[in-house]
Structure 1
């Protein structure tokens, strides 16, 4: 029972849906970093006030970088990256955020013809600088492997783990999105290999990228068996579409809580 109490279920959403997320029973919201970083000062203050009024927390954010802020290729601007990250982390620290998911497939997409080894080195360089800035704000970054349709580098959790190990910084870790893991047909055993660096989970039914509803609708069992094996006690965020949010959200929350119960 103690293990279950440690696991919180959240929802990846724009700011406009935070009240609905609270009403549905989610423990927290996972907002977009770019939305927070690019809004006006007045809008940020209103957002912070609204989240506090609802009694919600934002322990995690995603959508770290806009697609225009390149981290691979010939157009990398380290100064622009630094300015953006400082503003983003300043605001996230005010919201109490402790983990930032680094998916950002557009920002990290390697241009055609650009050497992949050099692109990987650029990711290592960016990751080290980002981790240092994050650390100064009490934040950790978690790289998100993305399916090939969304980017062309770090597509598997194994590749994400290799990047984490190359960066070798406690403020740069790994997260796994079940939708991308399933899309890439990656063995859930990677959860055990990555257990010392796994900090966060995203969840969706890969069939349509919708809210998970029933245990039998997809083969979730091997993945959750590995999470139980390592004693995963981090957060799980639903990142998915819903045909009927008010109906589907409570079912997803209940399913994910049951999935982590000892078998």
Structure 2
């Protein structure tokens, strides 16, 4: 059996149910780990109750990313919003500590019109340094994610190398690349080569197929080869299912059966 560990992204999976009911659905489908993009509309105690009741680990949440409905996709690269970003980091750390979340993802954001690349880069460096230092002190790993510019035009980090270079240049403690297979297939391809070359720099992986952002097997990515490569490099983190199911979530989970280990199918 495979040794890979899978997590269900409850923001995109089991959406036929209210968010609090998705925990039990994830356990019933065989998961023992979940992630939520932005859990902040819920009561922490309610999440805690669901995690305990269904023996689930919450492995990742995002740092608040600004006004999502207005199109904001992160605060870290926005000059003049440093105080707001600082508050968001503190909020995320507080939630992570109470819920036992080991890692936080930081969305860098879209550079606003009228702001130079240099201004945005300077702000991003300042904010990532702040976030990494605070996460390190709290015993939490900080994730930084590159996102494709087809889905989110202007997103300031859109290549794996950009994130890895930032982490190295800024010497960010307890910080790693969150590698999203869907985004990186669109932006750069060479998935297996990138994973092999940067195995020690990747802290979390998310998956969806291309095109469509649906489950593996619906698009062009050879997930059998990709998962085998992850086993060969000894990847020990979680692989999160962050996709939009073509039908119901359960109907689209057939591909996962051969990769779930024995103890994760109870």
TM interval, short-chain normalised:
0.7 to 0.9
Deviation digits for residues 59-96 of structure 1 (CA, Å, limit 9, x no counterpart): 222364234563224332x2322222212211211111
Deviation at residue 255 of structure 1 after TM alignment: 5.1
Distance 2:232 2:114 in 1: 42
Distance 1:128 1:59 in 2: 22
Deviation at residue 122 of structure 1 after TM alignment: 1.7
Distance 1:46 1:212 in 2: 31
Q: State yes or no: 1:193 paired with 2:197.
A: yes
Q: State yes or no: 1:85 paired with 2:89.
A: yes
Q: Which structure has more helix as a fraction of its residues?
A: 1
Q: Is the 8 A contact 1:26 1:253 kept in 2?
A: no
In structure 2, the residue matched to 1:146 is 147
Q: State yes or no: 1:211 paired with 2:215.
A: yes
Q: State yes or no: 1:117 paired with 2:118.
A: yes
Q: State yes or no: 1:244 paired with 2:244.
A: no
Distance 2:63 2:28 in 1: 24
In structure 2, the residue matched to 1:8 is 5
In structure 1, the residue matched to 2:164 is 161
Q: Which runs of 5+ in 2 are unaligned?
A: 12-18, 262-266
What secondary structure is seen at the aligned counterpart in 2 of 1:211?
coil
1:223–1:181 CA distance, 2 compared to 1 (3 A): farther
Q: Is the 8 A contact 2:104 2:143 kept in 1?
A: yes
What secondary structure is seen at the aligned counterpart in 2 of 1:196?
helix
Deviation at residue 217 of structure 1 after TM alignment: 6.0
What secondary structure is seen at the aligned counterpart in 1 of 2:212?
coil
1:230–1:170 CA distance, 2 compared to 1 (3 A): farther
Q: State yes or no: 1:173 paired with 2:176.
A: yes
In structure 2, the residue matched to 1:97 is 101
TM-score w.r.t. structure 2 length? 0.81
Q: State yes or no: 1:230 paired with 2:233.
A: yes
Q: Is the 8 A contact 2:6 2:239 kept in 1?
A: yes
- Total equivalences in the alignment: 244
Q: Which of structure 1's runs of 4+ aligned residues deviate more than 6 A?
A: none
Deviation at residue 176 of structure 1 after TM alignment: 0.8
Distance 2:224 2:64 in 1: 30
Q: Which runs of 5+ in 1 are unaligned?
A: 259-263
1:175–1:73 CA distance, 2 compared to 1 (3 A): closer
Q: Is the 8 A contact 1:30 1:62 kept in 2?
A: no
Larger RCO (CA under 8 A, 6+ residues apart)? 2
Q: Is the 8 A contact 1:200 1:236 kept in 2?
A: yes
TM-score w.r.t. structure 1 length? 0.82
